[in-house]
Amino acid sequence: MSADAPAPAPDGAAGSPPGYDRNRPKQTRIVSAQISLPTRFREIWRSRELLLNLISTEIKVKYKNSALGLLWSMVAPAVTLGIYWFVFGVVLKNSIPNFVIYLFSGLLFWNFFQTGLLTATGVVVQRAGIVKKVAFPREILALASIGTAGVYMFFQTIVLVIFMVALGTAPDWPLLPLLAVAFLAEILIASALGIALSAINVRLRDMQHLIEVVLTAWFWACPVVYSFWNSIQSHLGPHGLTWIYLLNPMTPIILTSQRVIYAHPVVTLTSGGKPVEILPPWPSSTYLLMDLALVGIGVALLLLALSIFGRLEGNFAEEL
């Protein structure tokens, strides 16, 4: 060693804390800086190809080595629909004409919401490997879960159309654009909840189990299996509480789906010939205004969800 070379500093020298080893590799905790919402949207848009690849991969993995492949996405809802038809139409002899179409028109939108939200909640934890190693907008993972649920919904819609043709029913064609608005509202709300819950679940792992319980209760708060509008009005209307029933964001969406697909707000029961109001007899403008209001709420929730995600994602590597 040269005489001019400085001697190694002892422990605690040069301002180092006692016991500090200068040769030890430094540990750096990386916390992402707060990214503005416009920048987040631009990054998500630039990663749209990755989003499509994640959706495609998720579907391929699910049906890998399966003989029927994607056809299972049609077989499962077809069997479910057949069971509903047999139970309600043959065994219980439900007196509402084509009740199975009414039922499945509500299940179609609910299944999309439930499937997307359940998978999105746990997706960051499940994809911990790539989250810790690859730099990309992590929100894409939750959005991919929602997109995958949309693909399954497409195949379920095909099954519904087949049943409608077999039973000789048709949607209310002039009201079909309402479905697009309702679906947009549902996508926004599901994406917002999925993004926020996926980040919270990294910190609180019980969230994934809690959301399963919440969705079970939420299902029965929606007019899927039941919805006799005259009964709801008779119980809540006199007390001015009908608005509480409509506060559930999924209620207007499902009512819109049933109004467009089932197409008959008032039906004549097959037993007794009594007319019953099973859907709100609102004009199309009322349905449209409710759905547009939900689109606005969905946009606000999505902005809030991205803000929550941005605050929590900096510690993902440490938590995972």
Q: Mind listing the pLDDT tens digit for each residue in 204-241?
A: 888 989 999 999 999 988 988 876 677 777 777 666 67
- Between these two residues, 314 and 292, which has the higher pLDDT value? 292
Domain ranges, residue 119? 35-309
Is 210 a domain residue? yes
Is 30 a domain residue? no
Cα distances from 125 to residues 101, 204, 312, in angstroms, run 38, 11, 13
Task: Please tell me the pTM assigned to this model.
Answer: 0.84
Is 108 a domain residue? yes
Q: DSSP string covering 294-307, please?
A: HHHHHHHHHHHHHH
Q: What distance in Å separates the CA atoms of residue 299 and residue 192, rounded to the nearest whole number?
A: 8
Please count the structural domains in the chain: 1
User: 242 and 233 in contact (C-beta within 8 Å)?
Assistant: yes
Residues with Cβ within 8 Å of 65's Cβ and at least 6 positions away in sequence, in order, are none
Is 28 a domain residue? no
Cα distances from 144 to residues 47, 151, 154, 184, 191, in angstroms, run 11, 11, 15, 16, 9
Is 6 a domain residue? no
Is 209 a domain residue? yes
Is 59 a domain residue? yes
Q: What distance in Å separates the CA atoms of residue 178 and residue 289, rounded to the nearest whole number?
A: 10
pLDDT digits (tens, 9 = 90+) for 85-98: 788 777 877 778 88
Q: What distance in Å separates the CA atoms of residue 112 and residue 150, rounded to the nearest whole number?
A: 6
Is 16 a domain residue? no
